[in-house]
Structure 1
Amino acid sequence: MDKVSFFSIVKNYKAVFLDSYGVLKNHQGLIEGVVDTIKLIRDEGIELRVLTNDASRSQVQQVQMFEDLGLRGLEEKEIITSGMLARQFLELKIKTGKFAYLGTENSANYIMKNGLTGIPISDVDIENSSDVAAFVFLDDEGFDWHRDINRTINFLRRNNLPIIVANSDKYYPISRDDVAVAIGGISRLCESVLNQKFIRFGKPDSQMFMFAYDDINETGNFGKSDILMVGDTLHTDILGGNKFGLKTLLVLSGNTRAKHAEVKINSTGIIPDYIADSILE
């Protein structure tokens, strides 16, 4: 598949959904030139949403993070996170009690609602935990990997309750060539050990795309053919966009490297409509 210019493609759409990591920023910070790209999108009158599987920050914190990196002007409503969807699930399904979690206190505080208290798995009394109403995989920090992953598995073996994965990413880049295991990867390990299926939020599942689609249609009139999904990862961004019926553009500025792109596309069968080096030209 021949590469295209992002600028030439995006002008054919009324809305664009952008992944965050690998599209707008990377391990070094904001990708140089992104500020100008966002300005072009706005100047063209194209509706913008950032769809991220990051469950560790609220919308307010996401806006502040981008401002600290040098990208100003994003609005809270323009950022949609997997943590938002996990919070919404808890609000609808779990009314009272506690939820145990694997992750940081900050991410737990974000998805917490009135009447529900978060407790880290390290503080859970595994033998006396009847007041725990749900378990949430939040992020890959804030716990001892050896002790607390084992505690998680043993706790879940003893209890039949909703198990939520707030970030389905299996890994994320920490340098040009290296990655770190994300909470989605840890949750898959636990699923395999327990022989269970957990409730997942974020790309590639449809909830995030439906939320974004409904959101832009509150003030506009958009069909799926009017929207371009842009991401750097085949199994989340592109697969999710394809399943939801959007045109998809794979950028080679993040998880998918140019030298591996063709092989990965052929081996997975996940085919983007377009490929571009980045959103910078």
Structure 2
Amino acid sequence: MERNASFFTIARSFKAIFLDSYGVVKNHRGLIPGVQGTINYLRDSGKTLRILTNDASRSPEQQAARFEHQGLKGLQPEEIITSGMMAHMYLVHKAKSGRVAYLGTPDAAAYILRADCPSVPVSDIDLDDIDDISAMVFLDDEGFDWNQDINKTVNLLRKRNIPAIVANSDKLYPVAQNDVSIATGGIARLVESILNRNFIHFGKPDSQMFSYAFDHINQYGQFGKSDILMVGDTLHTDILGGNKFGVATALVFTGNTSPDTVDLDISASGIIPDYICPSIVH
């Protein structure tokens, strides 16, 4: 493990750079200051770039427009890979009939759920009329009553043996320098523990997103896993996912991980990045 390395020095050794979005490119304050220069440097150096995000609330097109609005120029939708994309692909092949129930916002449902497969928010479900519910999807941490609708979700999954899909595996996300909020994955983990069930999770650290990104860049060139660097701010998603997929990993301190606790976090988790650097702008 190489510490306090310059990101620019690290990046020179790789042909493709995978970046987490929240905590690497941006955080609760907005864009990381100087990130436009880093993106420009990677492009000028001929690096292939992909953003890998567990944000399932927006499509790649919406993500690219959001980055543009925040001031980051030049990211294309095809360079952004989301956990919502993975969940959508699964539902296209698996949820071919009946209604799909969801926790989340209508906007997230419109992006992820199939137009020809009726979807219904959990709040609108009548638990006495659920025989045609074919899947349950955890989409977002907003758009529902946490008390009533999580309870209803538990009862739905007790009564119906159907696939439960988690479109965002993140358990929490930063909302201020020292504060976090519970994310979709955290809600899903709670329900899993109550029901003693394993749901289908998409997003880092699971391999689907990495496999998709790897196959996607190989449509435009020849890349081996040794050519790729995954950069993230969270050991349990970004770094673990990259390690499991077999690519090099770099941990940064602009999101969930603090330099004050990083040694304890690594020791407690057993998740070891190849590199540690302050941010992607140095």
TM category, shorter: over 0.9
**CA–CA distance in structure 2, aligned partners of residues 96 and 116 of structure 1:** 6
Displacement after TM superposition at 1:114 (Å): 3.7
Which aligned segments of 4 or more residues in structure 1 are displaced greater than 4 angstroms?
A: none
Task: Decide whether the 8 Å contact of 1:3 with 1:277 is kept in 2.
Answer: yes
Structure 2 counterpart of 1:111: 112
Question: Aligned pair 1:207/2:215, yes or no?
Answer: no
Structure 2 counterpart of 1:153: 154
Question: Aligned pair 1:139/2:127, yes or no?
Answer: no
**CA–CA distance in structure 1, aligned partners of residues 19 and 179 of structure 2:** 23
Structure 2 counterpart of 1:183: 184
Structure 2 counterpart of 1:124: 125
Q: Percent identity?
A: 59
Give the secondary structure class of the aligned counterpart of 1:258.
coil
* TM-score when normalising by structure 1: 0.99
**CA–CA distance in structure 2, aligned partners of residues 3 and 36 of structure 1:** 20
Q: Which amino acid aligns with 2:14?
A: Y
* TM-score when normalising by structure 2: 0.99
Give the secondary structure class of the aligned counterpart of 1:142.
coil
1:16-95 superposed matches below 5 A: 16-95=17-96
Q: Deviations over 1:239-272 (max 9, x none)?
A: 0000000000000110001101111001100000
Displacement after TM superposition at 1:216 (Å): 0.0
Question: Aligned pair 1:167/2:160, yes or no?
Answer: no
Q: Deviations over 1:93-142 (max 9, x none)?
A: 11122100001000000012242111100001111111111000001000
**CA–CA distance in structure 1, aligned partners of residues 18 and 42 of structure 2:** 11
Q: Which amino acid aligns with 2:249?
A: T
Q: Which amino acid aligns with 2:23?
A: G
Question: Aligned pair 1:236/2:237, yes or no?
Answer: yes
Q: Which amino acid aligns with 2:11?
A: V
Give the aligned CA root-mean-square deviation in angstroms: 0.7
Question: Aligned pair 1:272/2:273, yes or no?
Answer: yes
Task: Decide whether the 8 Å contact of 1:97 with 1:115 is kept in 2.
Answer: no
Q: Deviations over 1:162-196 (max 9, x none)?
A: 10000000000000000000010000000000000
Task: Decide whether the 8 Å contact of 1:16 with 1:229 is kept in 2.
Answer: yes
Listed as ranges, the gaps of 5+ residues in structure 1 are none
Give the secondary structure class of the aligned counterpart of 1:133.
strand
**CA–CA distance in structure 2, aligned partners of residues 245 and 112 of structure 1:** 31
Give the secondary structure class of the aligned counterpart of 1:204.
coil
**CA–CA distance in structure 2, aligned partners of residues 63 and 225 of structure 1:** 28
Task: Decide whether the 8 Å contact of 1:96 with 1:115 is kept in 2.
Answer: no
